[in-house]
Amino acid sequence: MSLQIYNYLSRQKEPFKPVVEGRVHIYVCGPTVYDHAHLGHAKTYVSFDVVVRWLRYSGYKVRYVQNITDVGHLLDDGEDRILKGARRERLEPMEIVERYMRSYFEDMDALGVQRPDISPRASAHIPEQIEMIQTLIEKGHAYVVNGSVYFSVESFPEYGKLSGRRIEEMEAGKRVAVRDEKRHPMDFALWIKAPENHILQWPSPWGRGYPGWHIECSAMSTKYLGHTFDIHGGGVDNIFPHNECEIAQSECAHGVPFANYWMLTGSLLVNGVKMSKSLGNFVTIKDALQHYRPEALRFFILSGKYNSPADYSDEALQAASKGWERMNNTLRRLQKAYQHPESLQLSPISTPEMTAHLIETLDQYRLRFVSAMNDDFNTPLALGALQEMTTDVNRWLDKGIATSEVLEQAMNIYREFGGTVLGIIREGTAESGSAEREAALIELLIELRAEARKAKDFARADAIRDRLAALGVILEDSPRGTTWRLA
RNA sequence: GGCGACGUGGCCAAGUGGUAAGGCGAGGGUCUGCAAAACCCUUAUGCGCGGGUUCGAUUCCCGCCGUCGCCUCCA
């Protein structure tokens, strides 16, 4: 089955057809870098990371652009978020930007999120934004007032088509005082005149000022992906006004559709309420990583659909951690067995027919995974296939019917799907990952403990196991000997 | 008030007009010197409530209740 994507624009699943055969141009709204990223960001960017990974795995050549907002994103009171951060930390605005942009990439790297191909910064694309604004003015979609430029929503009849709202139905300015220089209360700023000593300002045909928040995404996606590109992503919370404004600007400037598919991620909730900076109920990614391994966070995020909301809780994270552990333990078992085929102790019932049957079963899991992913990136369903496969593989190992061929196939599935696609299995984590000398020392202790056990000196045997456990080395006994792993 | 979602076992979470994936947890068991890991068995006659359509609805329609998101800065 080929890829189906739930398109927010049409509110239905559609077969995916890229503009250019075999290529995908995707744009995802990135963070405003004035503070550390939290788990809400993790949910969105891990989700799109997997989307991109799946597209690549499926053979598409992908260009993934995700902006960094470092100017123009205003707060309720009209103050720029970056300036607020600068004042808070008594730093230059661009120091704030640099600091939190690095922090953001640090977090994403830790989560195994592959870097976008281009991470354009708004402040580095002022000319492109000015140019686009000029085009909009020329085409009669924008107007200049007192050194600021506004987009006229009434000039674009389709305004509201993504979020499903109508201009007349919205109560503009209910909470934020409408600038009376606007012609229509819903008009939004493309360019804002800078006050006398505003720190972030650039020259423009309309005087010194700075760009509005929405225009950057239009200008930068156009520059790198073209007038019409394939997928536009982001969190649903930006559907209005941000995404709606992007569409209006871009389609009015270019006269062609902006993005063909809109994919919006559901919000991350805490106790049923959205995790957000303004509510202060957020957990930073750095904090979360103190308690949970990155793969567990990914596992948690991917065990729900990207476009559904997810509720964050310690119980949920614990469950994800355990689920991940079981899968990882099984992969480790596979690897050990594969490296030491003599330890397999194959049962007499392990016939070639049996092997063929197991390979066939693995193929079924492979198919289930693929069709789940092709069905609008249904990661929970795909993960389910992997988990059932895990039970089967353990069963086969227990019964002694898994031949090397079977082991190899199973490992490939974990590597490709768990690793390359979902990013929850990392090469190395399944292995001991420690230095050779350390491994040899542990083996030595295991030998000493084996002797103690033989002599029924269980106190000593347990002491060795406990001391190692305290150091993060877990020993596990089996009829075939003792194995170890890092906690 | 407007717009849009959602409500599935103790928790998380897929799904379908034909009779409920998976994970976590819990209980029992196998294995073990004991653990750990793994496996086996059990754990929703039921999918918010009330109607309707249908041979048949958890899945479609209507109403109600509840929760959430957006409308205002947030991924």
Distance CA A459, CA A38 (A): 46
Q: Is the dihedral of CA A360, A362, A364, A367 positive or negative?
A: negative
Distance CA A438, CA A432 (A): 10
pLDDT exceeding 90 applies to what percent of chain A? 65
pLDDT digits (tens, 9 = 90+) for A230-279: 999 999 989 989 999 999 999 999 999 999 999 999 999 987 788 988 78
Confidence of residue A487 (pLDDT cuts 50, 70, 90): confident
Residue A283 CB lies within 7 Å of the nucleic strand B: no
Residue A78 CB lies within 7 Å of the nucleic strand B: no
Q: What is the pLDDT of residue A430?
A: 44
Instruction: Output A352 or A483, whichever has higher pLDDT.
Output: A352
DSSP A4-43: EEEETTTTEEEE---SSTTEEEEEE---B-SS--BHHHHH
Amino acid, res. A203: P
Distance CA A240, CA A178 (A): 17
Q: What is the distance in angstroms measured between the alpha-carbon CA of A444 and the sugar C1' of B73?
A: 59
Q: What is the pLDDT of residue A28?
A: 96
Residue whose entry in the numeric block shows the structure tokens 């606007």? A182
Residue A239 CB lies within 7 Å of the nucleic strand B: yes
Flag residues 109-138 of A with CB < 7 Å from strand B: none
Q: What is the pLDDT of residue A73?
A: 66
Q: What is the distance in angstroms measured between the alpha-carbon CA of A383 and the sugar C1' of B7?
A: 24
pLDDT digits (tens, 9 = 90+) for A456-478: 999 988 898 988 888 888 888 88
Q: What is the mean pLDDT of residues A20-25?
A: 98
Q: What is the pLDDT of residue A346?
A: 82
Flag residues 242-271 of A with CB < 7 Å from strand B: 242, 265, 267-269
Average pLDDT value over all residues in chain A: 90
Q: What is the pLDDT of residue A428?
A: 58
Distance CA A438, CA A178 (A): 67
Q: What is the pLDDT of residue A72?
A: 65
Q: What is the distance in angstroms measured between the alpha-carbon CA of A149 and the sugar C1' of B61?
A: 48
Confidence of residue A76 (pLDDT cuts 50, 70, 90): low
Q: What is the pLDDT of residue A11?
A: 87
The H or E element spanning position A218 is helix A213-225
**Whose CA is closest to A196, among A188, A205, A207?**
A207
The H or E element spanning position A5 is strand A4-7
Residue A452 CB lies within 7 Å of the nucleic strand B: no
Q: What is the distance in angstroms measured between the alpha-carbon CA of A268 and the sugar C1' of B19?
A: 34
Nucleotide nearest to A240 (CA to C1'): B70
Residue whose entry in the numeric block shows the structure tokens 């469950």? A319
Q: What is the distance in angstroms measured between the alpha-carbon CA of A47 and the sugar C1' of B43?
A: 33
Nucleotides of B under 7 A from a protein CB: 1-6, 11-15, 21-25, 31-40, 67-75
Q: What is the pLDDT of residue A40?
A: 94
Confidence of residue A173 (pLDDT cuts 50, 70, 90): very low
Q: What is the pLDDT of residue A418?
A: 97
Residue A218 CB lies within 7 Å of the nucleic strand B: no
Assigned token pair, A248: 């209006």
Q: What is the mean pLDDT of residues A136-148?
A: 94
Residue A293 CB lies within 7 Å of the nucleic strand B: no
Residue A281 CB lies within 7 Å of the nucleic strand B: no
Residue A234 CB lies within 7 Å of the nucleic strand B: yes
Q: What is the mean pLDDT of residues A191-204?
A: 87
Reported ipTM: the value is 0.94
Is A177's pLDDT higher than 80? no
Cα A226 to its chain centre, rounded Å, is 24
Q: Of A139-143, A167-171, A188-192, A291-295, which range is least confident? A: A167-171
Which span out of A104-108, A291-295, A449-453 was modeled with the highest average pLDDT? A104-108
A442-to-A281, A450, A478, A485 alpha-carbon distances in Å? 43, 12, 17, 10
Residue A477 CB lies within 7 Å of the nucleic strand B: yes
Distance CA A34, CA A72 (A): 12
Q: What is the pLDDT of residue A432?
A: 46
Which span out of A36-45, A455-464, A475-484 was modeled with the highest average pLDDT? A36-45
Residue A237 CB lies within 7 Å of the nucleic strand B: yes
Confidence of residue A105 (pLDDT cuts 50, 70, 90): very high
Is A433's pLDDT higher than 60? no
Confidence of residue A74 (pLDDT cuts 50, 70, 90): low
Nucleotide nearest to A390 (CA to C1'): B38
Q: What is the pLDDT of residue A89?
A: 87
Distance CA A334, CA A410 (A): 8
**Whose CA is closest to A63, among A25, A28, A113, A30?**
A25
Q: What is the distance in angstroms measured between the alpha-carbon CA of A42 and the sugar C1' of B67?
A: 24
Q: What is the mean pLDDT of residues A73-97?
A: 79
Beta carbons of A312 and A266 less than 8 angstroms apart: no
Flag residues 350-379 of A with CB < 7 Å from strand B: 375, 378
Residue A168 CB lies within 7 Å of the nucleic strand B: no
Q: What is the mean pLDDT of residues A349-364?
A: 94
Residue A330 CB lies within 7 Å of the nucleic strand B: yes
Instruction: Output A319 or A437, whichever has higher pLDDT.
Output: A319
Q: What is the pLDDT of residue A427?
A: 66
Beta carbons of A9 and A261 less than 8 angstroms apart: yes
In the sheet where A268-270 sits, what is the strand order?
Answer: A273-274, A268-270, A310-312
